[in-house]
Copies of this chain bind each other. A is one copy, B any other.
Amino acid sequence: MAEHFNDEQREALYRVLHARRDMRHFSGGRVAPSVLQRILEAGHAAPSVGMMQPWRFVRITDGALRRRLVGLIEEERLRTAAAMDGRKDEFLRLKVEGARDCAELLAVVLAPDDGTLFGRRTMPREMALCSAACAIENMWLAARAENLGMGWVSFFDPDDVAALLNCPEGARPIALLCLGPVAAFYDAPMLEQEGWRSRVDLSEIVSENGY
B3 touches A15 (CB 8 A): yes
Q: Which residues of B contact A9 (CB under 8 A)?
A: 12, 15-16, 145
B14 touches A5 (CB 8 A): no
Chain A interface residue count, CB cutoff 8 Å, equals 105
Q: In the complex, A84 Cα to B119 Cα: how many Å?
A: 12
Shortest Cβ distance from A139 into B: residue: B17
Q: Mark A14-54, 1 if CB is under 8 A from B, else 0.
A: 11111110100000000000000010111011110111010
A117 touches B42 (CB 8 A): no
Give the dominant DSSP class at A's interface. Answer: mixed
A92 within 8 A of B: no
The chain A residues found within 8 Å of chain B, CB to CB, are 1-5, 8-10, 12-20, 22, 38, 40-42, 44-47, 49-51, 53, 55-62, 65, 76, 79-80, 83-84, 91, 96, 109, 117-123, 126-127, 129-134, 136-138, 140-142, 144-147, 152-158, 165-168, 171, 174-175, 184-185, 187, 189, 191-192, 196-200, 202, 205-211
Q: A16-B9, A166-B211, A185-B1 are in contact. Are A119 and B155 (CB under 8 A)?
A: yes
Return 27 A-B CB contacts under 8 Å, by A number.
A2-B185, A2-B187, A3-B15, A3-B19, A5-B15, A5-B16, A8-B12, A20-B45, A40-B202, A50-B197, A51-B197, A51-B199, A56-B205, A58-B206, A58-B207, A61-B208, A65-B209, A83-B117, A109-B211, A119-B153, A120-B154, A121-B155, A126-B129, A130-B136, A165-B210, A165-B211, A166-B211
A40 touches B166 (CB 8 A): no
